[in-house]
Structure 1
Amino acid sequence: MSEPLKSSDPSRIAGYRLLRRLGEGGMGVVYLGRDDAGTLAAVKVIRGESAEDGGFRARFAREAELARRVKSPWVVSVLGADAEAAQPWLATAFVPGPSLVEAVATHGPLPAPASRALGRLLAEALADLHAAGLVHRDVKPGNVLLALDGPRLIDFGVARAEDETALTASGMVVGTPGFLSPEQARGESATAASDVFALGGVLAYALTGRPPFGSGEPAALLYRTVHDDPVLDGIEEGSRALVARCLAKNPEDRPTAGELRDLLTEDAPDDLGGLPDPIARMIAVRSAEALALPEIEPTALDESADPGVKTADGPQDAPPHHPGRRRMLLGGGALLLAAGGASAALLATRDDNTSTQAMARPTYVLGVHSTTVRSAALFSRAGERAARLAVAQHNATRGRAYDLKVRILRDDGDAASAREVAGRLTADRDVIAVLGPVTELPMRAAANVYGGAGLTHVSSSTGQQDYFVTSPRSSFQTGAAHSALGGWIALHALVTRRLGRIGVVLDRSGGTTIQDQAALLVKQWRDALGGQVVPRVVAEETEDGPAAVRSLLTSGVTAFAYLGPLGPTIDAARLLAGAGFTGPRWMQHLLYGTDFPRLAGTAGEGWYVVDSAVDPSVLSTKSARDFTAVWRKRYGADPEPHAAEAYDSVRMLLTEFAPTVPSRAGARPVRAALGERMAKARYRGIDRTYAFGRYHQFDSSGSGWMSSTYVHEVHDGRFRQLGSLADLQSAGKAES
């Protein structure tokens, strides 16, 4: 997918007329260009600090030289490069087809014959690469493009010569978690065998629609890659054995790329003609669109200098020259949003809605991707209410430059309905941003759709960072990583001096979220803090939870954690209460705000939840008091669990959207601009400062995360917020 050029983009790079933007990262921009002979190219242009770095220029020149070495029909070819230019650039042949990630995420796994044909051609590409003395180091579905005549392996940004000293620091992981090899996960050098391992992961993904080591936190993926067997369920027997050989832990047990090519040649078709019709149509449509691209006029470096200039979006009429009025209207609309937090939003109480101003203001839409899933009703209701409140506050602002409205669509908790909701929201050109999805599977499925359309969306309730594979620029999370919260249970025990012998039940019916959380809790409690752990695992679709609890009661545990769904956790609470167990007890964080206190009754008293969700009604800060007051006024009750985080997410979106609104009458905001701003933003919300990490996840690497991680206790039949981990730590120090 591509985007229009911006007014600040050049119209030409060397001999290439630039037509569209293909993508943008921290170091530069990739454009679609066309030379005088009509050849299309992907032109990577380096900007900013990297262009001033002599060492980076040397590595960039090396990338071009490495790519030129490879002579393969299945490796994207280099058309030209200049590492010494004011803005270094590299042009490669443009492949108009979708990536393997996009094709599989949109239309499902490939049939076995098509997957084997794909594997054969990619193995041939790797064999040619290795014959040139190179190692790719980042073979993954996103680096495989599908064209009419076969696949293309792209991106030599981290490739290196096999006999060359690594340019990365010792122990640094290079590649994409979930596809890189065990040796790379351990920080060791990558070899040709590492590329074969990654290709095995690509084949598993093509055949099943999921990575062989699952999804989740990068650290969890690296751990599984080193220690766990790949999950190859659903792969037919003829292909499974070969994929398993590629994914062998020992590099010596893997076939070479040439051997793999020969093995796949035996019964694979000669080309990708066996692709499902929807994917074949996707490739054909992309190719036809590329052939039909029009020429463009040169872009202007500063559109304000000549308001009537032609831009990448076509000719624009020059608006009447009233800079003060238009600029003041825009400033008025952005003033509220730029203030940040809840307090500034509450200052706006009246509307200057004269008919003239209302007619002059455009209306934009905030989408809410919610869900009908009953178990997620807490999150969906809070998100929908938060969006309505934030939009109402914006529309009550004097002098605003635009109005907002809310459009709510709900998925059914599955991938297909999530993609359908995302498709409807992205098709509505008035939608400028989306809150949601609510749960993990829809987040993973919809991210590809939102990413393809460049529509920024933020989920405040998901916590697995695997969506970045399909949407590296448009998808964001403002909630803490689910797996991290397992470790924070151990920290709660430490600061309250109850780090004894803990029994941990991992109920696999809770899904990968709970599995990651349990693994980190065990590791932190035992390895980092030196406590004793007695773990138990309950298999899916069994009723072994009670037996696991009883076995722990006989093993002398002094603390207990049941990480699983609501029903089994209630059963565990009743068993512990019946046995007279009075030690500290923890449940998994997604149960905060549920009916656990009511359903468990007296057996639930004293259970803890450690979560990043805050109850603002018990905080004393002005922003929390203001937010609680306005929520009560609108909805007649205190903010429900997860409301503050959803509200902060919407406010952050609207804050960063305001500067992207064009001042020129009739011009539309560029969707991708919001994602660019979000990636760099720092937003002070009701209780915490929001910023994003490498994978657009909530950044909890700073020093303030303990102050915004809360412990809730079941007391008198409801969840009661005891304070943050920082509060409890300070209280413990004061008592000692």
Structure 2
Amino acid sequence: MSEAMRPSDPLAVGGFRLLRRLGAGGMGVVYLGRSEAGGLAAVKVIRAESAADEEFRVRFAREAELARRVGSPWVVPVLGADGTAPEPWLATTFVPGPSLGEAVGEHGPLPPSAVRVLGALLAEALGAVHGAGLVHRDVKPGNVLLAVNGPRLIDFGIARATDDTALTASGLVIGTAGFLAPEQARGEGSGPAGDVFALGCVLAYAATGRPPFGVGTPDALLYRTVHDEPDLQGVAGELREVLDACLAKDPQTRPTPAELRTRLAEDAPASPSAWLPDPVARTVAERSAESLALPDIEPTVLDGPDDASRTRSKRLASRRRLLVAGGALLLAGGGSGAALWAAGRDGTGAEAKAATKPTYVLGVQVTRTGPDAGLGRTCERAAQLAVAEHNAAAGGAFTVRTKVLDDDGTVDRATSVAHELAADRAVFAVFGPTGEIAMRAASRVYGAANLTHVSSTTGQSDFFVSSPAVSFQTGMPHQAGGTAIALSALASGQVGRAGVVIDRAGGSVMHDQGNVVVTSWRQILGAEVLPRVVAEDTDDGPAAVRQLLSRGVQDFVYLAPLDATVRAAGQLARAGFTGPRWMSHLLYGSDFPRLAGAAGEGWYVVTSAVDPAVLKTKEAVRFTAAWKARYGGTPEPYATEAYDSVRMLLQEFARTVPAGGGRPARPALAARLQKTTYHGVARTYAFSDYHQYAVTTQNMGTETFVHQVRGGRFRQVGTILPNTGNQ
């Protein structure tokens, strides 16, 4: 839990406004900070007297350097650091959840299924640590934070490269007694196997509520670690066998993190946020709510001594600029085989003419089953149309055929599909995957194979960690969806006291988006906002709506999966609420209008996805006509963005093909995409440093679209800000 700031605490450090104290020790303080873009961070500040030793400063700077080398979603990333400041500091992404030690101390041991998930994901984290050539050396319950979508490993303060002997001299014990390996306890240093032993201690603690070598003085704990067997009473079955293996005295017999991950992965939940028991999930939700209900910070408003009307106009323009800039900054800063879906025909009747040209293959990875099947079908259609147009163009130097594979929306299938496409040397790039789960799995494979791929329907910001060179996303980043809602409210004059419900059943995306909405509404719009967080696997949504209605909210933002949003629409309609209502941008194109019925009328969704059929521009009219001629109807939601993405891939690939044909080097396409600016049907595409669609002041306002449910369907109202060239 956090505590209030003290008079002696700094107001800001390294561009982070400090809000609360998260903890303090002999050497410094950890604060909850907020970046200029509104993101939350844990900021570790070292006291000047502790940093007087130059050797310490070198070690501190090395901590930041080492942490930056690790790429894993289960390791908290570094946002910034300065080891040369009078008081050195290091900022990492804030995880609004308790440590494992806090959770077990308050709620007791975790159930075996949760322990297995914890172990599998932490083993994956250690695999990334060791893969970067590091040893953590202090894996313990206090260095594991719990979030609804998985644990996070923190604190590389005593981590060292595996070949670094500066602090591994004989007789020097480094780590936390009771959670370190026998070889560490004997002062013999520690390698990767020592981290596995420590992880075994952590999992034993999670499963039993007791440290495996008891409690007491450090000397006593070190003696027991070397000479005694661990206390694993109450742990049985396969989990007991895994812990016995991890806690072997001989480091040579312990499993590797990869082996450990495989042995524990079978109990991974269907949903990444379904692993925590309800009491712990509620604690996480409470921490999340606390982080969203921080004191107001005065927005920057450039008012002059003009009359009231001119002052209001200046305030509006200033806040609009701040809001859009904040949204852009947010994004700069986190199987068993696959079935062939379609052979991919260009439909041009030009096979004979094309026979003399070289042919290259575009892989298309989509999900054909489950709730995302419609989206996958739309993206596959868009890819086929773009390829057909390329092949029909006069003077083309090469032809393209598609290889479309269905990844089933699962980790195993997505991995298998990615391996199949990466192994096919005729494949020059991949369009897809279409879903977040598949993207997370496939991006690792494509990254290892240097095979460029572009997804137009995902928006998480962490794929860059595992695939920093070849993974690209043309869809609006999910966090920017929160900025878009706030900017839409500002531009349409609908800013009032807002109730914001964040349903964690929708995963971390909803929390990320909601955090931005709350921050923007309070700090930049200058209006009151009342956030509520709903823990997963609870039925607290209706109660949250009732609480907000009782507070007289004038605006409502409900960020949740489809079924929960439909239920909220009905509840608000029955209560007679008619104020502005926004849903998550992920629900655009969903079945919300039909399922919500009359209760859904008037709800807004703000997204970069366009309905080209209502635009009057030449390119939009041409694309709509081409789609109708090929498929017999107007383009479905997300068709335009998929079509643009494939056209961009084809354009940039053409510039890498050697004169006279031949197979270009795979990395060349990714290198071009990093620098390209592509003008699509309704917006211009360029990529940020993290290979996401780059949000700018211009495109957030004039290339992001407001849709409203009217007459039982989503109808495009226009762009957030007037853009007469697009309407």
- Give the TM-score band, short-chain normalised: 0.5 to 0.7
Which residue matches 2:392?
Answer: 396
2:633 equivalent to 1:717: no
Q: Which of 624, 640, 645 is the equivalent residue of 2:620?
A: 624
Within 5 Å, which residues of 2 pair with 1:516-595? 516-595=512-591
Which residue matches 1:11?
Answer: none
CA distance in 1, matches of 2:461, 2:682: 23
Give the Å deviation of 1:132.
7.2
2:411 equivalent to 1:411: no
CA distance in 2, matches of 1:382, 1:452: 28
CA distance in 1, matches of 2:383, 2:650: 10
CA-based RMSD: 4.2
Q: Is the Cα–Cα contact under 8 Å of residues 496 and 728 in structure 1 kept in the other structure? A: no
CA distance in 2, matches of 1:664, 1:266: 63
Which residue matches 1:457?
Answer: 453
Give the Å deviation of 1:590.
0.8
SS at match of 1:231: strand
Count of residue correspondences? 477
Identity of aligned residues (%): 46
Decide whether aligned partners of structure 1 residues 689 and 233 sit closer, same or farther in structure 2, where only a CA change above 3 A counts: closer
CA distance in 1, matches of 2:73, 2:86: 14
Tell me which amino acid in the other structure corresponds to 2:572. Answer: L
Residue segments in structure 1 that go unaligned for 5+ positions in a row: 1-127, 146-174, 213-227, 249-255, 283-347, 732-736
Which residue matches 1:184?
Answer: 81
CA distance in 2, matches of 1:182, 1:619: 40
Decide whether aligned partners of structure 1 residues 424 and 142 sit closer, same or farther in structure 2, where only a CA change above 3 A counts: farther
Which residue matches 1:209?
Answer: 124
2:416 equivalent to 1:420: yes
CA distance in 1, matches of 2:474, 2:641: 7
Which residue matches 2:609?
Answer: 613
CA distance in 1, matches of 2:629, 2:725: 34
Q: Which of 690, 704, 707 is the equivalent residue of 1:695?
A: 690
Decide whether aligned partners of structure 1 residues 385 and 451 sit closer, same or farther in structure 2, where only a CA change above 3 A counts: same
CA distance in 2, matches of 1:545, 1:235: 22
Q: Which of 490, 494, 508 is the equivalent residue of 2:490?
A: 494
Q: Residues 511-568 of structure 1, C-alpha deviation per residue, up to 9 Å, x if partnerless? A: 1111100111011011111111111111101122112112212110111111101111
Give the Å deviation of 1:191.
5.6
Within 5 Å, which residues of 2 pair with 1:66-465? 135-136=61-62, 138-139=64-65, 143=69, 179=76, 184=81, 207-209=122-124, 230-231=145-146, 260-261=174-175, 264-266=180-182, 272=193, 273=252, 274-276=254-256, 353=351, 355=352, 357-465=353-461
Residue segments in structure 2 that go unaligned for 5+ positions in a row: 1-53, 101-117, 128-142, 159-166, 185-189, 194-251, 263-345
CA distance in 2, matches of 1:186, 1:573: 51
Q: Residues 71-115 of structure 1, C-alpha deviation per residue, up to 9 Å, x if partnerless? A: xxxxxxxxxxxxxxxxxxxxxxxxxxxxxxxxxxxxxxxxxxxxx
Tell me which amino acid in the other structure corresponds to 1:209. Answer: E
Q: Is the Cα–Cα contact under 8 Å of residues 615 and 641 in structure 1 kept in the other structure? A: yes
Decide whether aligned partners of structure 1 residues 138 and 440 sit closer, same or farther in structure 2, where only a CA change above 3 A counts: farther
Tell me which amino acid in the other structure corresponds to 2:704. Answer: T
CA distance in 2, matches of 1:683, 1:133: 44
Q: Is the Cα–Cα contact under 8 Å of residues 682 and 703 in structure 2 kept in the other structure? A: yes
Tell me which amino acid in the other structure corresponds to 1:572. Answer: A
Decide whether aligned partners of structure 1 residues 186 and 230 sit closer, same or farther in structure 2, where only a CA change above 3 A counts: farther
CA distance in 2, matches of 1:187, 1:730: 50
CA distance in 1, matches of 2:64, 2:562: 40
Give the Å deviation of 1:358.
3.5
CA distance in 2, matches of 1:459, 1:193: 33
Q: Residues 647-700 of structure 1, C-alpha deviation per residue, up to 9 Å, x if partnerless? A: 0000000000001112245x3121111001111111000011111111111111
Give the Å deviation of 1:210.
5.5
CA distance in 2, matches of 1:204, 1:701: 40
Q: Residues 160-192 of structure 1, C-alpha deviation per residue, up to 9 Å, x if partnerless? A: xxxxxxxxxxxxxxx999645687399968969
SS at match of 2:526: coil
Decide whether aligned partners of structure 1 residues 546 and 373 sit closer, same or farther in structure 2, where only a CA change above 3 A counts: farther
Tell me which amino acid in the other structure corresponds to 1:207. Answer: L
Normalization by structure 2: what TM-score? 0.59
CA distance in 1, matches of 2:125, 2:649: 30
Within 5 Å, which residues of 2 pair with 1:637-656? 637-656=633-652
Q: Is the Cα–Cα contact under 8 Å of residues 472 and 695 in structure 1 kept in the other structure? A: yes
Q: Which of 662, 674, 696 is the equivalent residue of 2:669?
A: 674
Normalization by structure 1: what TM-score? 0.58
SS at match of 1:660: coil
Which residue matches 2:42?
Answer: none
Decide whether aligned partners of structure 1 residues 134 and 527 sit closer, same or farther in structure 2, where only a CA change above 3 A counts: closer
SS at match of 1:463: coil
CA distance in 1, matches of 2:520, 2:150: 35
* The 10-residue stretch of structure 1 (363-372 or 714-723) with the greater mean CA deviation from structure 2: 363-372
Tell me which amino acid in the other structure corresponds to 1:710. Answer: F
Decide whether aligned partners of structure 1 residues 438 and 129 sit closer, same or farther in structure 2, where only a CA change above 3 A counts: farther
Q: Residues 13-67 of structure 1, C-alpha deviation per residue, up to 9 Å, x if partnerless? A: xxxxxxxxxxxxxxxxxxxxxxxxxxxxxxxxxxxxxxxxxxxxxxxxxxxxxxx
CA distance in 2, matches of 1:187, 1:487: 34
CA distance in 2, matches of 1:450, 1:730: 38
* The 10-residue stretch of structure 1 (721-730 or 697-706) with the greater mean CA deviation from structure 2: 721-730
Tell me which amino acid in the other structure corresponds to 2:62. Answer: H
Q: Residues 172-215 of structure 1, C-alpha deviation per residue, up to 9 Å, x if partnerless? A: xxx999645687399968969989x99x99x9997243599xxx
